[in-house]
Amino acid sequence: MKQTSSNARNLEKLSLLKTEERNAVLEFADLLRERFGFLIKELILFGSKARGESDQES
């Protein structure tokens, strides 16, 4: 996966996730890019985990 500096900065935000969660997100992103390639401009993660506002039930 080719990353621009913008993509690299955005990936740093994944540090808010647990290791297993981060790995799952990255694996899913890779699968989407393999399948849809040039059709994908960007992938956005939403929710309390992405914002760093998660609690035990998130």
45-56 tens-digit pLDDT: 888 888 889 888
- What's the pLDDT at 9? 56
Q: Residue 40: left if φ>0, alpha if ψ -120 to 50, beta else—which one?
A: beta
Q: Is the pLDDT of residue 34 over 70?
A: yes
- Measured CA to CA, the distance from residue 15 to residue 38 in angstroms comes to 26
Give the global pTM: 0.69
State the pLDDT confidence band at 7, using cuts at 50, 70 and 90.
Answer: low
**Cα–Cα distance list, 2 to 8, 20, 33, 43, 51 (Å):** 10, 22, 11, 14, 25
Check whether 8 has a pLDDT greater than 80: no
Structure tokens at 44: 């956005």
12 or 6, which is more confident: 12
